[in-house]
Each structure stands twice: as structure tokens, then as C-alpha cells.
Amino acid sequence: MENLTIDSAALVGRGYRMVDYYEVGREKIREFARAVQDFQPAHWSEDAAADLGYDRLIAPVTFGSIIFMIVNRALFDGLAGYDMSQLLQADQILELHRPVAAGDRLVCSVELSSFRRVADNDFIVVKNVLATQDNELVQVSHTTVVARTGDEVDPAIAEAAESVVMHGVSLADRLSATDGAKLIETVEAPQIAPATHIPRTSMRFEDLSVGDVLPSKPLRVSRGDLVNYAGVAGDPNPIHWNDGLAALVGLPNVVAHGMLTMGMAAGFVTSWLGDPAALTKFSVRFTGIAPIDPHKPQAIEFTGRIKSLDADKRTAVVALAAHYEERKLFGRATAEVRLR
């Protein structure tokens, strides 16, 4: 992508798309499922996917974040004053039109939807649209990030980050990246295909009542899990695996990725559902951090309850929570699901 502008606000409303497509591999789906500790059989076995009506493996709900990461990094590379160590994800909304499946060739567009500056923080909302090469809509993502700017930003942070990130994601490497990671301006919108999937959930709509509680599920996260997720998801931010960088930005320890905890929460919901394709919208506001001890795994406990039911649509809204020790990781988190 050519240099767009140093004025972030001037980008609002302009749309771009990646030059190349992303081809979804069967083993990549399994790698990602392992990284978010999602062992729903349809992510691992073609037979299990076939039982849900698919002839290929289907990916975990947050798999698209791999592609969003590629495209959004290309966008932020064109904005002055930002680097990966200064961006904090605050909110994520996923609208799910159909599952990502092995063999899909996907393209992604990006738009800076809104921008506002409050004191030394920039609040930026980015919209990503994931579609097939045939222009069939797959997912829409809305991500809110907070970027630190101004005098409080220590220039040593960016320098230190450049020194420890993996080859291929440093500034010099990005400037010589292939066209597949670059963006071109676009206004084309994908087509929404008619919904054809019939939910094959473990429970019927009639089995649920408002206030019902989902069985809680604790998951353990180690430093190795953070390193593995960083590599599988393509998230190079060293605050998730480098103690020095974490301390430099004021963190008590390296912290779990927001999208890792969101992916684990999605797996918690879809394991209960029995059908990942029955999840149609998933949103999380991140409010807490999970520092991970270098010597032992830490437990994150996921819970949920039925918040509302719609008898006409046979849908439910599930309110979710994630707790790390006494800390709430999510301020607001909901999953909208369809039921048989």
C-alpha cells in the first residue's frame, strides 16, 4: 500500500482490500483449534464436519482473525505514530454468515470506520469484511483499538520491539513485503448468500429457559500457549511473550492475547452448542488482562447464562464471562446462536 496519509482522521470511510487471497489449509485449521484449545470435532475430523452438513473441516469462530491481522497491520503501517506495542484492543464484534472451511480462498477488505482523539489516546474502529473469491460474504468484524500517542510514548519501546520481533514483521521487512500483504483501494461489497445451514445443535430451542446457566469450563494457559498462539495467529506483539517489553509498557508480566481469550470463549460456547455454525454473532469488550506466570499455567474460567430467547427466530443470546483469578477479563460479552 502506498503511503496513505499521516492524518488518521482523513482515512475514515475509505475502503481497501488485500491484493492476494488467503487459502485456508486443513492443517492450519487444526493448528488454530489447538492454539485456542477448541476440540470441537468438526475442526478436526471430516466425518464430524459431515455430520453437521459440511464436506470439509470448518474452522473455529475466530480463525478469521489471522487474516484480519495481516490486513490491519498493512493499514496501520500507513499511519504515522503507531506501532504494534502501542495498540490495545478494546472491543471486538464478529458477524458470522457462514463458517470458514478448509480449501476456502478468502479475500479481506478493511475500512477505518471512525477516529477520535481523547487526550493522548486515539480511539480507532476498524471494519473488516471477509469474503470468498466469488464475493460471498463470510464474516464482518468490527474492532476498536486504543493507540497511545503524544509525549507519554517512550520511543525506546518501538526500538526495543523492532529488536525482538520475528523476522518478517520488523519495519524493514514490512517495507519489502510481497504484494499479498499490501492493500488497494476498493468500493466493491460482497454478496450475502441466503442462509441454508440448518442448526444441528445438541439442544432444542424448547430445552432452554432465560436464566439457564451453561456448565462452567476452566482452561489453563501457559507461556508456551502464548508463544504458540502468537505464531499460529500471526500476532507479533512481544508484550505477549517478552518480559522486557511487557515491563517497558507498564505491564506486570506478559499477558494473554485478547483474541486468544476470545477464541477460547467461542470454543466454550460452540462446544456447548455442538454446532459451531449455529453461532451467528459474537462480541466481546475487553476490560481486564491475564498476566501469565513464567513457571506455571494460569487458569481462566469461562461461564455463561441464557440472557434472552426469541421463539419466532428460535435464537438465544448467551451472556458470557471470563475470570482470571479475581479479575474479570470481559466487560460485556454476548453470543447470539440459532437452535434446532
Interhelix angle 26-35/258-273, nearest 10 degrees:
100
pLDDT at res. 249? 84
Q: Which residue, chain included where needed, has cell 483469578?
A: 325
Which ranges in 136-254 belong to alpha helices (H)?
155-164, 171-175, 223-233, 243-248
Q: Above 60 in pLDDT, residue 332? A: yes
Weakest-pLDDT range from 40-49, 73-82, 162-171: 162-171
Contacts (Cβ under 8 Å, ≥6 apart) of 131: 106, 107, 108, 109, 137, 138, 190
Q: At 83, is the pLDDT very low, low, confident or very high (cuts 50, 70, 90)?
A: low
Task: For residue range 157-204, list pLDDT tens digits in order.
Answer: 666 666 566 555 544 444 444 445 577 776 567 777 777 789 999 999
Q: Above 70 in pLDDT, residue 6? A: no
Contact (Cβ atoms closer than 8 angstroms) between residue 193 and residue 202: no
| Rounded Cα distance, 53 and 51, in Å | 6
Q: Give the start-end residues of each E strand in 248-329.
A: 279-286, 298-310, 315-324, 327-328
* Average pLDDT in the chain: 88
Q: Above 50 in pLDDT, residue 96? A: yes
Contact (Cβ atoms closer than 8 angstroms) between residue 288 and residue 302: no
Q: Above 80 in pLDDT, residue 336? A: yes
Task: For residue range 214-246, list pLDDT tens digits in order.
Answer: 999 999 999 999 999 999 999 988 999 999 989
Q: Tell which wins on pLDDT, 61 or 249.
A: 61
pLDDT at res. 273? 98
Q: Tell which wins on pLDDT, 165 or 53.
A: 53
Q: What average pLDDT score do residues 294-302 get?
A: 96
Q: Above 90 in pLDDT, residue 65? A: yes
* Domains of the chain from N-terminus onward: 8-338 (3.10.129.10)
Q: Above 70 in pLDDT, residue 90? A: yes
